[in-house]
């Protein structure tokens, strides 16, 4: 009798992200109300964003500029002709009962961005993620649930329309992501890009960057996608990763148990660390799109496109490649330095003024970063300028001061004291004729330690070196001191 063997099915996840990115304009997309965050409820409103009768929207040109720049940075094709559409939404926080968005003719399509991962050996892996489209739209308001109710948890809701009409771009990825790690890295890279461009602050805690995750699973080797489930409004990168990892396991377990996956929208429950059903997912037909009759079509001229393209900065991925291939930095250093544009510019200014790239990277990613984290500062808020950092590094490399001296004086330097003042009278003693008598004096003053050294305890060399440095207020050249001490001890 033969026993049948069961082959375990392997599954893979198919993941795409829809990212809503709030643009950093001073006024709303179709009106002059302020976009300032944190204002009192219902103070940044006007007839247009409230959808009152008889008003007409007017496109904020800065919104178009920022959308085109984001599209260019994501390697998209910019549409010479696009239009706005009405998307029917019947939510209490959407005053007009429709959203002005873009449907079949978005401002940008067919792009990509590159993410960097690390394999099991710590080697960087680069993967290109496709961008399906980028389009402009307006945000809705915000419901604030209050009171207490035994069943729903709240007894009434308040509506704040300050956010209604805030300009957004929605960036839709291709289903090229395969894990929670990849999706979180994609979202992080997207935030780096919009921050570098200056088109958005990307603050997830304020809702400036919000991600919806579309995820399905299928057996490895199958071409057809599984049933897609959406997870709404992810507001942290770690939540994106954890929600996806949970949902992959949930869907696989359901399929293995013979259950049917339904197309629905789910929410991530942070406290319970699981997803829960919110509603059955609408299709595009449910939104009943039609062209927005109150807004003219958009035509981007060649002159505008050329101008906006010329204003793009070097982007994070380009900087990482440049730092690694031309400056010889490690992938880790390159990543830390390019995380924030102001840090990258600080680093580049320092090396432009003569600092060694690796030394500058070490100072910025270690000592300066520790100070920034402890004091909750940005690099633009410290007194140590990049030119002064270059001066310090040059002094160390030319033997005028030691690394230990520089670290000792770092608090003064960070407060804005110049290297000239901080190291006045502190130049290293590099003349052997000056150091030799001091070494002789230290050895003569410690006969017991000398005897122990000569009886085999060679670790005591560090003791003698330390005594010389102490006697010279750390001005003795460490390398020369080591050589002289070793020579005298072994004589």
d(C-alpha 73, C-alpha 134), whole Å: 11
Residue 332 CB: number of other CB atoms within 10 A? 13
CA distances to 197, 351, 379, 416 from 300, rounded to whole Å, are 19, 39, 37, 47
d(C-alpha 357, C-alpha 201), whole Å: 29
Closest CA to 46 of 169, 161, 208: 161
What torsion do the CA atoms of 371, 191, 270, 132 make, to the nearest 10 degrees?
-160
* pLDDT string in tens for the chain (491-residue length): 444 555 678 999 999 999 999 999 999 999 999 999 999 999 999 999 999 999 999 999 999 999 999 999 999 999 999 999 999 988 888 899 999 999 999 999 999 999 998 887 778 889 999 999 999 999 999 988 887 665 556 788 899 999 999 999 999 999 999 999 999 999 999 999 999 999 999 999 899 999 999 999 999 999 999 999 999 878 899 999 999 999 999 999 999 999 999 999 999 998 899 999 888 765 666 789 999 999 999 999 999 999 999 999 999 999 999 999 999 999 999 999 999 999 999 999 999 999 999 999 999 999 999 999 999 999 999 999 999 999 999 999 988 888 888 999 999 999 999 999 999 877 888 888 888 899 889 889 998 988 888 888 888 888 998 898 888 877 888 888 888 988 888 87
Q: How confident is the model at residue 434, as a pLDDT?
A: 86
Distance of CA 332 to the CA centre of its chain: 14
d(C-alpha 144, C-alpha 40), whole Å: 13
Q: How confident is the model at residue 1, as a pLDDT?
A: 45
Q: Which residues of 101-119 are buried (b: 16+ CB within 10 A; e: fewer)?
A: bbbebbbbbebebbbbeee
Q: DSSP 3-state helix, strand, coil percentages of the chain (rounded to 5)?
A: 40, 20, 40
User: Does residue 10 sit in helix, strand or coil?
Assistant: coil
Distance of CA 105 to the CA centre of its chain: 30
Residue spans of the domains in the chain: they are 11-304, 314-422, 432-489
Q: How confident is the model at residue 149, as a pLDDT?
A: 60
CB-based contact 452:446 (threshold 8 Å): no
d(C-alpha 194, C-alpha 281), whole Å: 29
Closest CA to 260 of 229, 230, 223, 231: 229
Q: How confident is the model at residue 150, as a pLDDT?
A: 54
Q: How confident is the model at residue 6, as a pLDDT?
A: 57
Q: Report the half-sphere exposure of 215 (CA within 13 A, side-chain side).
A: 31
What tokens were used for 26?
A: 């001073």
CA distances to 176, 197, 200, 413, 476 from 164, rounded to whole Å, are 32, 24, 17, 47, 66
Q: The pTM is what?
A: 0.86
Bridge partner list, 229: 215
Q: Which residue has the tokens 């599954």?
A: 11
CA distances to 91, 152, 225 from 149, rounded to whole Å, are 21, 6, 41
**For the chain, how big is the Rg over CA atoms in Å?**
30
Residue 14 CB: number of other CB atoms within 10 A? 16
User: Does residue 76 sit in helix, strand or coil?
Assistant: coil
Residue 5 is classified by DSSP as P
Closest CA to 202 of 20, 387, 404: 20
d(C-alpha 295, C-alpha 75), whole Å: 27
Q: How confident is the model at residue 2, as a pLDDT?
A: 44
Q: How confident is the model at residue 358, as a pLDDT?
A: 97
d(C-alpha 298, C-alpha 291), whole Å: 12
Closest CA to 331 of 315, 345, 316, 313: 316
User: Does residue 411 sit in helix, strand or coil?
Assistant: helix
In DSSP notation, 119-160 reads -TTS-EEEEEEEEEEEEEEE---EEEEES--TTTS-SEEEEE
CATH topology of domain 432-489: Arc Repressor Mutant, subunit A (1.10.10)
d(C-alpha 278, C-alpha 265), whole Å: 6
Bridge partner list, 124: 118
Residue 381 is classified by DSSP as G
């Amino acid at each position: 009798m033969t026993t049948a063997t069961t082959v375990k099915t392997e599954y893979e996840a198919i993941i795409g992200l829809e990212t809503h990115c709030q643009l950093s304009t001073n006024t709303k997309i179709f009106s002059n109300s302020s976009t300032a965050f944190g204002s009192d409820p219902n103070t940044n409103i006007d007839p247009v964003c409230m959808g009152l009768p008889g008003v007409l929207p007017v496109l904020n040109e800065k919104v178009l500029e920022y959308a085109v720049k984001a599209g260019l940075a994501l390697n998209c094709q910019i549409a010479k002709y696009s239009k706005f559409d009405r998307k029917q939404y019947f939510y209490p926080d959407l005053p007009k009962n429709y959203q002005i968005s873009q449907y079949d003719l978005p401002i940008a399509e067919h792009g990509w961005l590159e993410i960097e991962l690390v394999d099991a050996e710590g080697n960087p892996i680069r993967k290109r993620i496709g961008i399906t489209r980028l389009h402009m739209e307006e945000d809705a308001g915000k419901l604030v649930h209050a009171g207490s109710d035994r069943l729903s948890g709240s007894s009434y809701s308040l509506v704040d329309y300050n956010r209604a009409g805030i300009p957004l771009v929605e960036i839709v990825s291709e289903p090229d992501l395969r894990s929670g790690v990849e999706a979180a890295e994609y979202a992080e890279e997207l935030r780096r890009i919009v921050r570098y461009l200056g088109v958005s602050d990307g603050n997830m805690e304020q809702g400036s960057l919000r991600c919806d995750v579309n995820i399905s699973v299928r057996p490895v080797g199958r071409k057809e996608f599984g049933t897609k489930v959406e997870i709404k409004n992810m507001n942290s990168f770690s939540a994106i990763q954890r929600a996806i990892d949970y949902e992959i396991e949930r869907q696989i377990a359901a399929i293995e148990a013979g259950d049917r996956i339904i197309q629905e929208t789910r929410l991530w429950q942070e406290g319970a660390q699981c997803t829960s059903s919110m509603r059955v997912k609408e299709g595009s037909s449910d939104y009943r799109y039609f062209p927005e009759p109150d807004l003219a079509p958009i035509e981007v001229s060649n002159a505008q496109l050329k101008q906006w393209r010329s204003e793009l900065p070097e982007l994070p991925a380009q900087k990482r490649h440049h730092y690694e291939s031309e400056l010889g930095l490690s992938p880790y250093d390159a990543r830390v330095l390019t995380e924030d544009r102001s840090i990258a510019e600080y680093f580049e200014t320092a090396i432009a003024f003569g600092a060694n790239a690796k030394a500058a990277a070490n100072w910025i990613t270690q000592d300066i970063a520790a100070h920034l984290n402890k004091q909750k500062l940005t690099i633009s808020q410290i007194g140590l300028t990049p030119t002064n950092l270059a001066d310090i590094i040059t002094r160390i490399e030319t033997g005028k001061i030691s690394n230990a001296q520089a670290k000792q004086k770092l608090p003064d330097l960070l407060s804005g004291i110049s290297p000239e003042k901080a190291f006045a009278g502190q130049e290293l003693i590099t003349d052997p004729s000056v150091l030799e008598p001091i070494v002789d004096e230290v050895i003569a003053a410690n006969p017991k330690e000398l005897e122990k050294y000569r009886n085999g305890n060679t670790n005591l060399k560090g003791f003698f070196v330390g005594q010389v440095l102490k006697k010279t207020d750390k001005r003795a050249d460490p390398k020369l001191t080591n050589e002289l001490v070793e020579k005298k001890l072994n004589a």
